[in-house]
Each structure stands twice: as structure tokens, then as C-alpha cells.
């Protein structure tokens, strides 16, 4: 029987029910874990067939709710994002991070931007796995399903340094002392901070749609203020929370046709959470204050990136319009530098996944 993905099986002689299937997997530290997947099962009557599950999953009869005496099981796991990835919650420092991990091989850490979650990588991460990497996709602190720290007066709880420490702790927890790293948008600032603070941990660094926060602010003319006004609006106390929570769907304007339905659903659930909105705004407030101070201290100390750096920017976004070739700015931050534009709007992992994945594979 051909069972379409995401639909229950149809059979004229069967009763239908939804069950949970326990799938035995292994997480990177080799501790056994069970992941629950929603599936559909058919009870086929009048056939003397063995009780054999399909699709190579381990079926537990104790997981079936209702129905006794099943004689034949027809199973199709719902196909969707990150099918070969393990999802878990990891306690790191003062945070609990939601993380997806897939594949075996050299580790790669992917950091999403605003207002996305780790699901934004759903078209890129599997390609990296196929190329022989182990891929780690967390929700940043405050975002998605990761914990939401209480704001602090100096915004340090949402600083890029705090996020960088989270990410280093996560990768150490997974058994990786060194790893390749890519970050997009707000995630790129956390990736930059991690590479500056812990250079021995990062083998190669890819920054997407990014120049340092301090470089943006040093060039903050009327064009920047007009195009990136949201930086300064988000920095205001309380007002952005009231405006955005009134109608987050209209404010953020996601599109399932572009994002992919499951990615869109996950994103939409996240941005409807007032605690997530507050945490994302704190990310921006930290950017204009403590994060800027950290970057300016690095420049005063003449600290630069020690690892190879790849810079990619979306050609249908405004980074090149504002600054010309971003590599000209990065020359003061890294000596081993390369990069180019990508034919995409801002969210290149969703809109240009093939080009992005190929470029990252070749670089890493």
C-alpha cells in the first residue's frame, strides 16, 4: 500500500488510529535515547501476516493507545524537516537549549538569525549531513524553544558573549572541542563573538549577511537609519513589546510558500510567544550597548579573527547597497578572507539553499 506522507493510511477493512512510535536513536555522546514520532497504523483483518513494522523503525506495542490484537501494521512516518536529526533539550550554563543534531563526521554548528529558529536551516542542514558532516542546529537563547533568560539592566543576559558561551558549552557537551561555525543575521554576531573569544574552538567561520555591529554603527548615516530603523525601535523600552504582541503575524509576515510549511509553523508558534518577543528585542538592545562595547574593545586591542573567514551576503538585500563590497570592511578583522554575494533575499538558507549548502561544503 502506498501511504502518502503526512496522511493516514486508507484501507477498506481497517480501523484507523493515531499512535506514537518509539524510535531508538543514538545521540552524539552515545547515550541511548528515544524519540517520539507521530505515525498512522492500520489494523488489517483476516490476514495471517507477521507483526512486522515497515520503514525500519522499532515498534513498541505498549505505545499503541486503543485497539488490541493488531495482526499487521502498515506504517509511514510523516516526512518533513530534519528527518534524520535527533531533537533534544540540553542544559548549558544558565540556559536550556533546544537543539537538532544529525549526521556523523566533522562537526558544524549553524546559528540562525532573527526572528527565525533552528528550523530555518531545514533545507541546508541535510545537505551538509549528506556531504559527511555532523550538523548541530540550536535555537539561540531566547529564541524558539530555548529558555528565555530574565532581562538585566545592562542587557548582558542577552549579549552575544552569553550566547557564544552557550554555544561553546553545547558543543563541548556533544564532545566537540573544535568545530566549523556558520551564523546568519543575529546568529552571525554570536558566531563572531564566539570566534573572537574562543579562537581555538573554531576551525573555520562563515558569516552570512553580516558586518560587525560596531561597523554598522560607525557608518550610521541617514540611509542606514532609514533602512535599519528597526534596530533603534527595538531598543526602546516596553513600546516594541506592546506593538509587536498586538499582531505578531502582521509584524513579522512569514510566508509558508517561501519558508516551507513546517518551518513556518514552528516560526509562527515562536513569534506568538510574548516571552520570545521580549527576548528577541533584548538581543537588539544588547547589540546597541554591551555588544558594541565588546567589539570596540576588540578593535582597541587589535584583536582579529585567527581562522579562515567566509563572508556571504544576499544580493537582493541591502548590505551591498549600504556599504559596497562587505569584504572591504572585513579586511580589518581577518587576514584569511574570502566571500561573495548570493542571489537571494535576506533569508538565504530558505531561498538559496543549494548555493549556500554547496558553498559551505566547499569551505568547511
| Gap between the terminal Cα atoms of the chain | 42
Counting every residue written for the chain, the total comes to: 364
pLDDT of residue 80: 76
Q: Do 43 and 10 touch, CB atoms closer than 8 A? A: no
**How do the domains of the chain map onto residue ranges?**
1-79, 85-363
- 200: its cell numbers: 581555538
pLDDT digits (tens, 9 = 90+) for 245-269: 999 999 999 999 999 999 999 999 9
pLDDT of residue 12: 33
- C-alpha pair distances (Å), 27 with each of 33, 105, 184: 7, 13, 26
The Cα–Cα gap between 205 and 210 comes to 12
Among the listed residues 182, 169, 181, 148, the one whose alpha carbon sits nearest the alpha carbon of residue 280: 148
Low pLDDT (below 70) residues in the chain: 1-79
Domain 85-363: top CATH class: alpha beta
* Grid cell 490476514 in the structure block, residue: 47
- C-alpha pair distances (Å), 212 with each of 247, 290, 299, 324, 330: 31, 13, 11, 15, 8
Q: Do 201 and 171 touch, CB atoms closer than 8 A? A: yes
The Cα–Cα gap between 192 and 171 comes to 16
pLDDT of residue 166: 98
Q: Do 348 and 356 touch, CB atoms closer than 8 A? A: yes
Catalytic residues: 185, 346
Distance, CA of 212 to chain centre: 20
Q: With DSSP H G I counted as helix, E B as strand and the rest as coil, what are the percentages for the chain, rounded to 5? A: 40, 20, 40
The Cα–Cα gap between 101 and 243 comes to 35
Write the CB contacts of 301 (distance below 8 Å, at least 6 apart in sequence). Answer: none
pLDDT digits (tens, 9 = 90+) for 289-332: 999 999 999 999 999 999 999 999 999 999 999 999 999 999 99
Q: Do 90 and 173 touch, CB atoms closer than 8 A? A: yes
Among the listed residues 137, 11, 122, 25, the one whose alpha carbon sits nearest the alpha carbon of residue 75: 11
Count helices and strands (H / E) in the chain: 16, 10
pLDDT of residue 340: 98
Beta-ladder partners of 338: 310
Amino acid at each position: 500500500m502506498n501511504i502518502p506522507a503526512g496522511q493516514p493510511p486508507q484501507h477498506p477493512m481497517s480501523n484507523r488510529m493515531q499512535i506514537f512510535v518509539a524510535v531508538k536513536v543514538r545521540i552524539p555522546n552515545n547515550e541511548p535515547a528515544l524519540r517520539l514520532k507521530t505515525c498512522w497504523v492500520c489494523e488489517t483483518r483476516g490476514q495471517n501476516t507477521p507483526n512486522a513494522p515497515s520503514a525500519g523503525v522499532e515498534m513498541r506495542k505498549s505505545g499503541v493507545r486503543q485497539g488490541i490484537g493488531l495482526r499487521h501494521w502498515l506504517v509511514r512516518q510523516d516526512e518533513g524537516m530534519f528527518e534524520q536529526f535527533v531533537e533534544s533539550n540540553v542544559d548549558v550554563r544558565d540556559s536550556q537549549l533546544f537543539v537538532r543534531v544529525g549526521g556523523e563526521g566533522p562537526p558544524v554548528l549553524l546559528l540562525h538569525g532573527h526572528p527565525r529558529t533552528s528550523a530555518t536551516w531545514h533545507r541546508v542542514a541535510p545537505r551538509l549531513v549528506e556531504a559527511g558532516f555532523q550538523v548541530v542546529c540550536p535555537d539561540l537563547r531566547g529564541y524558539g524553544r530555548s529558555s528565555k533568560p530574565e532581562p538585566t539592566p545592562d542587557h548582558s543576559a542577552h549579549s552575544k558573549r552569553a550566547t557564544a558561551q552557550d554555544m561553546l558549552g553545547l558543543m563541548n557537551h556533544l564532545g566537540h572541542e573544535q568545530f566549523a561555525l556558520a551564523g546568519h543575521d543575529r546568529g552571525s554576531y554570536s558566531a563572531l563573538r564566539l570566534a573572537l573569544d574562543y579562537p581555538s574552538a573554531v576551525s573555520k567561520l562563515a558569516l552570512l549577511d553580516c558586518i560587525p555591529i560596531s561597523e554598522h554603527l560607525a557608518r550610521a548615516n541617514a540611509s542606514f537609519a532609514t533602512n535599519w530603523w528597526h534596530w533603534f525601535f527595538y531598543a526602546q523600552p516596553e513600546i516594541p513589546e506592546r506593538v509587536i504582541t498586538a499582531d505578531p503575524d502582521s509584524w513579522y509576515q512569514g510566508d509558508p510558500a517561501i519558508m516551507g510549511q513546517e518551518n513556518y509553523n514552528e516560526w509562527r508558534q515562536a513569534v506568538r510567544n510574548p516571552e520570545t518577543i521580549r527576548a528577541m528585542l533584548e538581543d537588539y538592545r544588547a547589540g546597541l550597548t554591551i555588544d558594541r562595547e565588546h567589539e570596540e574593545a576588540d578593535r582597541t586591542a587589535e584583536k582579529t579573527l585567527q581562522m579562515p573567514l567566509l563572508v556571504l551576503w544576499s544580493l537582493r538585500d541591502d548590505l551591498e547597497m549600504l556599504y559596497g563590497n562587505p569584504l572591504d570592511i572585513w579586511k580589518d578583522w581577518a587576514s584569511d578572507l574570502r566571500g561573495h554575494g548570493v542571489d537571494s533575499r535576506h533569508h538565504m538558507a530558505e531561498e538559496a539553499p543549494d548555493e549556500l549548502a554547496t558553498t559551505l561544503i566547499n569551505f568547511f
